[in-house]
Amino acid sequence: MLYAFICTDKPGSLQTRLDNRPAHLEFLNSLGDALKGAGPFLDDHGNMTGSMLLIEAANREEALAISKEDPYARAGLFETVEIRPWNWALKNPEAS
């Protein structure tokens, strides 16, 4: 099952994001094929304000455990994290 992680940064936390970005990217790369896509949300000035990740996990509990291991989450970057099951209906490169 795929899960979308929709994460919103706390106001004024850009420096926390920048300080933890290398560890965050290393963590995402360590997920291997379970990571289907990831990237930051941007404001109108191009500043990062949140994250969206697409993760394959066996169930919601596994997805939640992955979200808690993210260095951004451990650093307290996020104001909110929403984890939602997601169906990749169109342009899924893994669909037959």
Q: What is the pLDDT of residues 31-40, one digit of tens each?
A: 999 999 999 9
Q: How far apart are CA 24 and CA 21, in angstroms?
A: 5
Residue range 2-86 forms a domain whose CATH class is alpha beta
User: 1-10 pLDDT, tens per residue?
Assistant: 999 999 999 9
2-9 vs 35-42, strand pairing mode: unpaired
pLDDT at 81: 97
Residue 49 has a pLDDT of: 97
Residue 96 predicted with pLDDT over 80: no
Cα–Cα distance between 14 and 59 in angstroms, integer? Answer: 31
The residue behind tokens 């808690």 is 68
